Structure 1
């Protein structure tokens, strides 16, 4: 069987060929009907493996054969995220960006964008490329951390300076932008308070209605003959 799973990584022959960068074998296996969307033992399909191992030509071939450029694997990662995190060559990332990849998409579990992952890996060349491709420098992950926050945690001066310059270039540190952020925060707090108040009022109204209904029901029971049964 062309898609027989096996080995320590529970992989198909196509997974192995992709991981090793054997484009010719990848082409042959696809001709014989191998399925590139199958997941290996680590939760990755072939396009994710090609991206994280830096095999740019295989990434291009698999996308040309119909693999979704934004497809998430079982780890919640897209090919772009893997390229930013595992490959310090800019070629896979540059290629994926030409396919109109969703550069600001967050992963399934951490909500890290490709820029977050590049910062986590200290992948400076890819950071520059992602910023040039309009990556959101203020995107927040599930913990509310931006790429700049992660760079500061790692005390990487180059990354901190580069990300701060990107924020300034986009006007994120301007008084007008900071005022807008403050107003948005106030609006969010007011909306939350209004929602809570409305819920409490609705809860009180339902309780009052229930009490009134019970009283009416009890009254009807007490006026129903025979009167001797009423307590």
Structure 2
């Protein structure tokens, strides 16, 4: 083989490798496709060399997104292709914790059956933390039966019991106490379960985590400010949800979205004008979108009352990755744009990766 032929083969190989690489998604596109349950794209990308634990821009790896969606088929695909069932994302989450948080019991069972760990390293949010926080009683029972650590400590030293107390999940509080959870463990602020109960004005729960005399003594102390009341909201018409679903599908499939965006914003504006005539506790100011991608009819949109300062404006310039992630979640809850926040999140994660190398 002469030099010209070898050069041609080398150039051709490089071209085809570059073409294959060009087909791989960026974290944002990957995340949207996995949330939509796009198994065909996932399989193709893995065939083309996508790492099985590749992370999306927000939620985590493909397996983690599949677990959060309760998508067993997609979970199977990633595990078959070598995904680490106990993979910890850059923000310290695992697939089983996300499945527990979203209440996908079959997904939790599937992960347990395949050996997923229920007890991550100390000072990490565990599946039991997430299930207790979200009020998923059956999953709490499932995790306890399979050996989940009762007094696992989160980054702020909170226990699963504290999370159940915070959210007022009385049945879970009782189940954890009956199972032997510590009522005297303290968080990084020196507060135990009783202090959390009183902070959130949960007096009945306070009697489950402390003797009556301790509760009486604590109640006689200066009161703790109660959390703000829920905001008033007005359900949006089906038109808004339908357009949102079409928009998300188009984004995931790489199709043009400009016309759909104009239709969506026009529908939102019509809803704003209509809802202004209805009585709410405060002037409506933000459209909250809740969409389950790939599940027609499961989307929800609400016009929420109260001031809504864009999260990107209130985020400190030196905010870390976790702070930016929280801002993204807040922005999504308020129906605010997240592209700039996502860009900052990816940049911050890149910094962390570079500093770790």
The reply to whether residue 100 of structure 1 matches residue 112 of structure 2 is no
CA contact (8 A) 2:46 2:81 kept: no
d(CA) in 1 for partners of 2:72, 2:108: 9
Return 5+ residue gaps in structure 2 as ranges. Answer: 1-21, 184-357
* CA displacement at 1:134 relative to structure 2: 0.7
Larger helix share, 1 or 2: 1
More strand by share: 2
2:9 — aligned with what? none
Residues 1:62 and 2:78 aligned together: yes
Contact 1:106 1:114 in 2 (8 A): no
Matches within 5 A, 1:72-221: 72-85=88-101, 87-106=102-121, 111-167=124-180
Give distance in 2, aligned partners of 1:34 and 1:140: 34
**Structure 1: gaps spanning 5 or more residues:** 174-231
1:23/1:58 contact within 8 Å kept: yes
Q: Distance in 2 between matches of 1:105 and 1:48?
A: 15
Give the drift of 1:158.
0.7
Residue 45 of structure 1, CA deviation: 1.7
Residues 1:49 and 1:31: Cα distance change in structure 2 (over 3 Å): same
CA separation of 1:18/1:161 partners in 2, compared to 1, >3 Å: closer, same or farther? same
Provide, for residues 66-106 of structure 1, a one-character-per-residue CA deviation record: whole Å limited to 9, x for no partner. 11011111221111111112x21201111111121110114
**Does the 8 Å contact 2:120/2:126 carry over to 1?**
yes
Aligned residues of 1:111 and 1:142 also touching (Cα < 8 A):
yes
1:113, CA displacement in angstroms? 1.4
1:95 and 1:42 mapped to 2: Cα distance? 24
CA displacement at 1:131 relative to structure 2: 0.9
Write the distance in 2 (CA, Å) between the matches of 1:47 and 1:28.
15
Correspondence for 1:47: 63
RMSD: 2.4
Counting only pairs closer than 5 Å after superposition, residues 10-21 of structure 1 correspond to structure 2 as 10-12=28-30, 15-21=31-37
TM-score (norm 2): 0.42
- When normalised by structure 1's length, the TM-score is 0.62
Q: Structure 1 residues 34 and 122 mapped into 2: Cα distance closer, same or farther (>3 Å)?
A: same
Q: How many residues align?
A: 162
CA distance in 2, matches of 1:11, 1:101: 27
What displacement does 1:122 show?
1.5
